[in-house]
Each structure stands twice: as structure tokens, then as C-alpha cells.
Amino acid sequence: MKDNASTIRETIESIIGQDFPKTLMEIIIVDGYSQDGTLTIIMNHLKNFEATVKIFYAKGLGKARQIVVDNAEGEYILWVDGDMVLPKDYVKNLVQYMEQHFDVGIAKGTPSLNSTSNLLGTLEACSRAIGKITCFSLGKTSDSRVLGTSGAIYRTSVIRKTGGFDKDIKGYCEDWDAELKVKEAGFELRLVNLEYLDYERCGLTWKNLWNKYWRRGFDTHYFVHKHKNKRLIRHYKMFPPSAFLAGILHARALFTLTRKKIVFLLPFQYLFKMTAWYVGYIKGHLKNYQPY
């Protein structure tokens, strides 16, 4: 979490308002040295909260995630980004799901299709939602499919048993790395029929979108080489024209679900962001990027 002052109030309020016993909750905050008052807002909202609150500071996603794993006292860890909003029964329902499915190491709800963002942010929320639904609808996952941490619940004993997060991964793919280890240990990853409001609630710009996917591609190059014994990337699927075709298929599926005509802009958004991803990936290849 870093510099989420514009969204963190709603996020914290959605955590405080959970229909779940507060005495069974603990909140672990890992701040990336925010400069906009994010932490002050959080502490003001948690002053009278019954649950235990722990605060840490770290730079780098892998390191931040591992701090939570090392300090969590409960059976489960539910990851909440600083720009998400959880429905009131989200924690209760995910915990119940995990209690009923002991073969599941990680479970996650789906991003809501009802975004409160601008047009581009709404398209991005829709693309993430349909991507997860398409990839995980059968309950089976390949090594190239990633649930992601935001909104996900981890079984604490499992993530510790499998070695946790790679603290040297500073950018993207720390979640992918952890999920691979959980699956290798014989546990399932599942998408659950629960919705949460995903990020981009304050709007998304084309520049932000480009930078995000450029960095994702850049970081993925290292990650693919770290796991070179696995076929994690199929380049024909990542190539921008293929992304355009995938956008058409996803738009058709989304229109059936939402009846919103704006989803037919998805192919162009897919083309744009996967071009950014590929440029970042190539840059990582040319630089032989290592995060250490």
C-alpha cells in the first residue's frame, strides 16, 4: 500500500464494517512509505476498532507480502489493496468457503462489473473480471493462469509451508510465484462467486495504463526466466493482434452478462495495453533484467 489517500477511507470503512467477529480479526498494514497522509487516515479510522492492528514499512511487493505472512496469527490471510471496497459479507463468506474446502490453498472473489470509475477504468475492471471468470470457471488452473492477491484469501499454514513470497521480487509477479508453489504442494486455487469493488475507482488514464502494463511485461521477463523449466508464457497469445481478438471474445461474453455496449471498446483497450506489455517484456530481455 502506498499513497492511497484518495481511496483508503472507503477501503478501511469496508473492512471495519465486515459482518465478521472483530475479535477474530487482525489488521496488518504494510506501508510503502506513503507521502500523502494515507497512514494517518488509516489510524484515525482504526482508533476505536476492536481488532489488533500491526503496522510495518517496506519497499517491494514480495517483501511487503512476506512481512504479512511472517506476522499473521490467524488461520487465513485476506489481502486488501488500498483502493478496494469489500461487500459486508465478503470475509465471512470466504472464510466459510475455506472451512468447507480443505483442498483449497487460495480462493478469491471476482472484481465487480459495476465500476464507479471513468470509462477507461470501467473497461479495465471489466477486463479483469471476465479474464478471471474465463480462466477459472472450470475450477482448474494451468501454470499460466493467475488469481492475484487483491481480494484473495490464503490459508496461512499453506503459504508458510510452501516458502511464502519471494522478497526479491519488487514489482509484479510475486503473486504468480506464490501461487505456483501452492499448486506444486497439491492445493487448489479457486474463484468464488463473490464480488468486490476493484481498484481504478478514481479514474484511469491512458498513461497510467501504459505504465502499468509496461512494468508488468518488464517484470514478467525475469519471472519467466526464474521458472524456465515451465512454459508460463505463450507468446502467440500475448502478441497485440491476438489480444485484440481476445478482446472481441471477451466483449461478447461481457455484453451477455451486462448488456453494456461500452464493452465493445475492449478490443482496442486490449490492443493498447498488450502493446505496452510486449514493449516492456522486450525491454526486460534487452536489459537482461534481474530484480536482485
pLDDT tens for each residue of 245-256: 999 999 998 888
| Percentage with pLDDT > 70 across the chain | 89
Residue 153 inside a domain? The answer is no
Average pLDDT, the chain: 85
Q: Is the pLDDT of residue 292 over 50?
A: no
pLDDT the model gives residue 62: 92
Segments forming the whole domain that contains residue 285: 205-292
Tell me what the mean pLDDT of segment 160-187 comes to. 92
Q: Higher confidence at residue 77 or residue 37?
A: 77
Q: Is the pLDDT of residue 72 over 80?
A: yes
pLDDT the model gives residue 144: 59
Q: Higher confidence at residue 155 or residue 121?
A: 155
Residue 253 inside a domain? The answer is yes
CA 138 to chain centroid: 20
Q: Is the pLDDT of residue 168 over 90?
A: no
pLDDT the model gives residue 273: 93
Residue 238 inside a domain? The answer is yes
Give the DSSP H or E segment for 190: strand 188-196
Q: What is the DSSP string of 20-69?
A: S-GGG-EEEEEE---SSSHHHHHHHHHTT-SSEEEEEE-SSHHHHHHHHH
Tell me what the mean pLDDT of segment 270-274 comes to. 94
pLDDT the model gives residue 122: 81
> Where residue 37 falls among pLDDT bands split at 50, 70, 90?
confident
Distance between CA atoms of residues 257 and 212, nearest Å: 27
Q: Higher confidence at residue 49 or residue 248?
A: 248
pLDDT the model gives residue 116: 58
| Residues in CB range of 233: below 8 A, 6 or more apart | 144, 220, 224
- Which of 85, 78, 79, 68 minimizes the C-alpha distance to 9? 85
Tell me what the mean pLDDT of segment 15-31 comes to. 91
Residue 290 inside a domain? The answer is yes
Q: Based on the structure, what is the number of domains in the chain?
A: 1
pLDDT the model gives residue 138: 47
Give the DSSP H or E segment for 188: strand 188-196
> What nine digits make up the cell of 202?
478514481
Distance between CA atoms of residues 48 and 65, nearest Å: 26
Helix (H, G, I), strand (E, B) or coil at 282: helix
Q: Is the dihedral of CA 217, 222, 225, 231 positive or negative?
A: negative
Q: Higher confidence at residue 156 or residue 125?
A: 156
Residue 54 inside a domain? The answer is no
Residue 176 inside a domain? The answer is no
Distance between CA atoms of residues 127 and 114, nearest Å: 12
Residue 219 inside a domain? The answer is yes
Give the DSSP H or E segment for 237: helix 235-238
> What nine digits make up the cell of 132?
478471471
Question: 3-class secondary structure for 89-110?
Answer: CHHHHHHHHHHHCCCEEEEEEE
pLDDT in tens, 97-143: 999 999 999 999 887 776 556 788 888 888 877 776 766 654 455 55
One-letter identity of residue 19: D
Q: Taking a C-beta distance cutoff of 8 angstroms, is the pair 46, 9 a contact? A: no
